[in-house]
Structure 1
């Protein structure tokens, strides 16, 4: 018998697929995911008249609320009295009061009152609802569901930038978190899934991904993706996860360079334009649904939050942030459009394209049937890292990106860009672009005057060769 091909070797069993997709209580991956801060809601969701929202996260049900003092609390959703739904509770008297019998709980889960009990009853002193730490960062509320002290936040640009330079949003995908994440670490798909047959005016690209001109050129990204659809993909491990570099050679002198990152466990950082990046998490609601949470970070002018929000509300409906284009209406598929203007026939919003791609795989992708190729090297490496970190968590060791305060300060950036650079010298070109942008950001702390690309934040290991494999 002949040797198995690398593609065949990458295929997995059903048990292996379950191992890297299922995050509920008691699962190995669930134990890993509970070691990290998880996006639980947008800050905007608790800014209305009634700042109480139900949250389903990692297959468990919670209620998230903001008390009168502005503190955030996340509690188990079932009242410890007789199990009624606290998501219908009343915010009053310094906490959340169950609508069934009036039991009152503060953000730390302490029972403050059991009003139906006799005067002088000490029952509430013996009752405590399970509560979880919550912290607001850059428009997102993060919750920690694990045991012990939560990890420190890395000093990513999206967390360092002031509020006026960031914008947060989210959207629901009806599929497992892993297949949603893997789209973001797949540099090859953009030339097909997001292909436009005509180029638009790049000056009208604000807030739209893949619609601006590539940095240091007047070439629109739509043209680059359309005409150069065989990128050379380099992938390397980093202290935060992975760095991906996709190269599309324009001619002997010029190469398009796109640098993206996977931040473990379930985030990626990608360029949106020359002045803006997207940091995006794919957070398990349960095994068959996930939310993407994104922070858009500007290095130039403050973000036009109203414009960004209005653009996204054209597609997403509140309160669940569901796409108006979805499987019930074939994602707006138009065969005439597919023949003449877009590769998918599903409109101009790439979020719809991504949603179709990942939801069409089924609630949980059956990876026993897939055949991976060289263009999937980032996906292969990520799955390897994921399995390694599941094992580390199971053995009691600290997995990747479970950081203490000292190590959190060393995780900076990370660098992202897309631009037209020299075919010879692209390895330093992208570092130069990143350092210039960071030096120019009005909110970024000053870098040393003698800093060079390989020592200035973000910390970068040696650039991969043009022909590097995973």
Structure 2
């Protein structure tokens, strides 16, 4: 258990809070590119407890600024897009993407007032369908060479979803291997051939066994957690028999991301981004190592489940997440349908807006949670001491963060340690876009190349 002060330290992210200052040292997903429609490329954004306006001007440049006009505080999210920037609808003041005021048309001819006005603005970069913003001071860090950033647009699909609770409890469900055997348990298995775009529905690598069957029948995983240069590697082992073991390799990517396998050919890289202390968005990249992503199908699947413009699940607390006691008896463990995002959302929202960790009791299966919280506290303290935290990268160190490797498959009970690496290397080397092999995985399979050659 932890004290209330300790819980506040690792959950509260408003400006001036220790965790908030740490979070502002990283690029943060701020919006999907799809949210800036051609007809109206302006959107209000709330991020890390602050209000902004995000826009694309008539020349295609992205801008992110504080939302209140520096003239008299009107809402810039209702401004007019022009070739040079965003114009406030109140008095016509025009701001470019850097926040510089370039026109104050109601002022007398020859006025130089606009030259002295600059709205607080923040760097924005687009990566494969997601717009990232840097809210910190000074130069922003470099982007790591994660697969979702390295892969071409054809092989990456981006989406998001709203969760109405604190970011930390939403993140922690993604680094908890044990919960999948219960929360995401299905009593009947679908044909893995119909699993495209669905989580936990395909077959594990090296077998025709559906993931759902493995999770249902082997619910006591052995969990290994190790620190890495990007955060944590989490390996869950489910022994099928003396010869075979199911291996699932996932990663926590600091500060608030994780990377998990979706199928043999696809991974999910996901961030749980604080809107404020009591709400967050998950932003996800679905990255393919094989054929180009069928983005139309992926989008249609998700728009059946989420309502725009807030990207709110159609099953939520207002309708009891679609809970059906008959379904709970016969087909799913939760009785809340087939979408595992709904399951996760119920679990973390049911904890309250901010989970009271003074009342929890952790077990052996929570070792990744314990390790992550320890890591989080350490990095908060580093920033408070004036140091750069883990995964704050310059251009040189960013090139060293590749992958990271993920895998879901059944391999030998003896030798699983290299089996999962071999599977990951194999799909990377076969990827049409030249997926990089992470250095640690390259080293772990070096002996195989020597034998081959």
Instruction: Please confirm whether the aligned pair reaches a TM-score higher than 0.5, indicating the same fold.
Output: yes
2:126 equivalent to 1:131: no
Q: Which moved more, 1:86-95 or 1:220-229?
A: 86-95
Aligned counterparts of 1:252 and 1:319: Cα–Cα separation in 2: 51
CA deviations on 1:351-380 (whole Å, 9 max, x unpaired) are 000000000000000000000000000000
Matches within 5 A, 1:152-163: 152-163=142-153
Q: Is the 8 A contact 2:26 2:392 kept in 1?
A: yes
Q: Say which of 312, 319, 335 aligns to 2:325.
A: 335
Q: Is 1:32 equivalent to 2:22 in the alignment?
A: yes
SS in 1 for 2:182: helix
Structure 1 equivalent of residue 403 of structure 2: 413
Partner secondary structure for residue 345 of structure 2: helix
| Structure 1 equivalent of residue 443 of structure 2 | 455
What is the rounded CA distance, in whole Å, between the counterparts of 1:446 and 1:296 in structure 2? Answer: 17
Correspondent of 2:107 among 103, 117, 129:
117
Contact map agreement 2:421 2:444 (CA 8 A) in 1: no
1:145-294 matched pairs, under 5 angstroms: 145-294=135-284
Q: How many correspondences in the alignment? A: 446
Give the whole-Å Cα distance in 2 for the aligned partners of 1:238 and 1:182.
18
Q: Does 1:99 align with 2:89?
A: yes
**Alpha-carbon displacement from aligned partner over 1:301-327 (angstroms, at most 9, x marks no partner):** 000000000000001011110111000
Q: Distance in 2 between matches of 1:445 and 1:435?
A: 9
The corresponding residue for 1:6 is none
SS in 1 for 2:178: coil
2:282 equivalent to 1:321: no
Q: Which residue of 2 aligns with 1:5?
A: none
Alpha-carbon deviation of 1:454? 4.0
Q: Is the contact between residue 435 and residue 456 of structure 1 (CA under 8 Å) also seen in structure 2?
A: no
Residues 457 and 285 (structure 1 numbering): CA distance in 2 closer, same or farther, change over 3 Å?
farther
**Change in 2 beyond 3 A, CA 1:456/1:123:** farther
Question: For 2:39 and 2:144, how far apart are their aligned partners in 1?
Answer: 33
What root-mean-square deviation, in Å, do the aligned CA atoms of Structure 1 and Structure 2 show? 1.4
Asked whether the 8 Å contact 1:89–1:99 carries over to 2, the reply is: yes
Instruction: Return the offset for 1:47.
Output: 3.2
Residue aligned with 2:187, SS = coil
Q: How far off is 1:423 after superposition?
A: 0.3
1: CA distance between counterparts of 2:441 and 2:395? 25
Go from structure 1 to structure 2 and tell me whether the alpha carbon gap of 1:457 and 1:262 turns closer, same or farther (over 3 Å shift): farther
Superposed CA deviations along residues 403-440 of structure 1, whole A, max 9, x for unmatched, are 00110000000000100000000000001001001000
Moved over 6 A (4+): none
Per the TM alignment, residue 444 of structure 1 is displaced from its structure 2 partner at its CA by 1.0
Which of residues 395, 399, 407 in structure 1 aligns to 2:389?
399
Q: State the shift of 1:48 in Å.
A: 3.0
Q: Cα deviations across residues 185-229 of structure 1 (Å, max 9, x unaligned)?
A: 000000000000011111000000000011100100010000000
What residue number does 1:351 align with?
Answer: 341
Tell me the CA shift for residue 453 of structure 1.
4.4
Q: 1:447 to 1:198 in 2, by over 3 A?
A: closer
Mind listing any 5+ residue stretches in structure 2 that lack a counterpart? 447-453
In structure 1, runs of 5+ residues without a counterpart are 1-10, 459-470
Task: Answer yes or no: is 1:90 the counterpart of 2:74.
Answer: no
Q: 1:246/1:212 Cα in 2 relative to 1: closer, same or farther (>3 Å)?
A: same
